[in-house]
Amino acid sequence: MYCITSIQILNMEPRRDAAIAILLVGFVPSLSVLFGIEIIDDESLSQLFFILCKIWMFIIPTLWYFRVEKKTFSKKLPSKEGIILGLLTGTGMSSIIIITWMLFENSLDIEKMVVTLESKGLSSLNLYILGMLYWIFINSLLEEYVFRWFITTKGSILFRSESMGILFSAMLFTLHHSLALHFFGFIWWQTVIASFGLLTAAAIWSWLYIKYKSIWVCWLSHAICDVVVFTIGYLILFT
């Protein structure tokens, strides 16, 4: 009886650790959006909170990997097949984004979106370009680092299923984007449609990570989509 109990305890430890890791990181992006856009009115404080959240999102998974799990740095490069699939999925999802924008552009509250973006310092073309470069080359990579690598792998351990890990990570990823869409002026049905697209994209990116064990494959697909999103943003703000 004692041996069975000991085995059960040992089996629970990885799941407990995975749950702790997820709690430390998984909801920080949503808090960043909630406080940065809706609760904190001061632009400087909002930006500071945003930066601190991003630093936290990078540091905690890194410390967990090296200090808690005591693993070493991986130098694995993405495979050619992975790069091709990243390009294909990114291009395919970007096409869907463009079609969706063309179908629903007239139903969006553009004025509210512009006011919200301007309140966050994105009314200047130069700042917008800098922001675009940050989101495509840094933020999207950080999201792949956190959601596709860290949350997906920890979720797979927590739920003892890679499929559930993929779904769980995709749901957490969608949560903070859905909040941002709501605060930017999307009405409920628009948020639902966009959230479904985000959930699908996030699941595909997590699946890509599980398949190729490389965040670079996921990032390539993600970055292509971000280019399209920021192009649409440019059209909203500056044309």
Mean pLDDT of the chain: 88
The pLDDT assigned to 2 comes to 45
Annotated domain spans of the chain? 2-238
3-state DSSP call for residue 96?
A: helix
pLDDT at 38 over 50: yes
Cβ(179)–Cβ(91) below 8 Å: no
The pLDDT assigned to 6 comes to 43
pLDDT at 199 over 50: yes
The values of phi and psi at residue 41, to 5°, are -85, -35
The CA distance from 177 to 180, in Å, is 5
What is 120-140 written as a DSSP string? Answer: TT--SHHHHHHHHHHIIIIIH
Q: What is the pTM of this model?
A: 0.89
The pLDDT assigned to 206 comes to 98
Span of 56-60, 101-105, 153-157 with lowest mean pLDDT: 101-105
